[in-house]
Amino acid sequence: MEVSPALTDPTNPMHADCPGRDVFKLITGRWTLLILWSLKSGTLRFFQIRDQVEGVSERVLSSALKDLCRHGLISRHVEPSVPPKVSYSLTPCGAGLLDVMGQITGWIASELDTIEAAKRRYDES
């Protein structure tokens, strides 16, 4: 039996061992893109991000910021003061992801009426 090359390619996200799955999981998380979107206009402190991303808990935000730093999508800067002032900003990698997100939000805006109509039809049936 011949195995499909797509199933043996470690760069294929459908493959269980694909290293990109970790990144895919991160960027499709509930808060990731909203946190990145909050940073599109510049550097922010933790509480500013929390206030912009309505509904995110401080615990979840803290964890997400760590993951985003670990993956190189944002950078963390600590000013040596008492208490320390910590701020976050996009890296070039994170800014590139925001370019993709801009395309997605454009698609959402152009298709929202169609999607809402489909939801109404589905809910009525």
What pLDDT is recorded for position 7?
Answer: 52
Q: Quote the CA–CA distance of 102 and 5 in Å, as a whole number.
A: 33
What pLDDT is recorded for position 2?
Answer: 55
Beta partners for 44?
A: 88
State which CATH number among 3.40.50.970, 3.40.50.2020, 3.90.180.10, 1.10.10.10 fits the domain covering 31-124: 1.10.10.10
What pLDDT is recorded for position 11?
Answer: 75
Q: 47 burial class (0-12, 13-18, 19+ CB within 10 angstroms)?
A: exposed
pTM for the structure as a whole: 0.81
Q: What does pLDDT average to in each consecutive run of 10 residues of the chain (125 residues)?
A: 56 82 89 96 97 97 97 96 94 95 93 97 95
> Per-domain residue ranges for the chain?
31-124
List the one residue out of 101, 106, 104 whose CA is nearest residue 40: 101
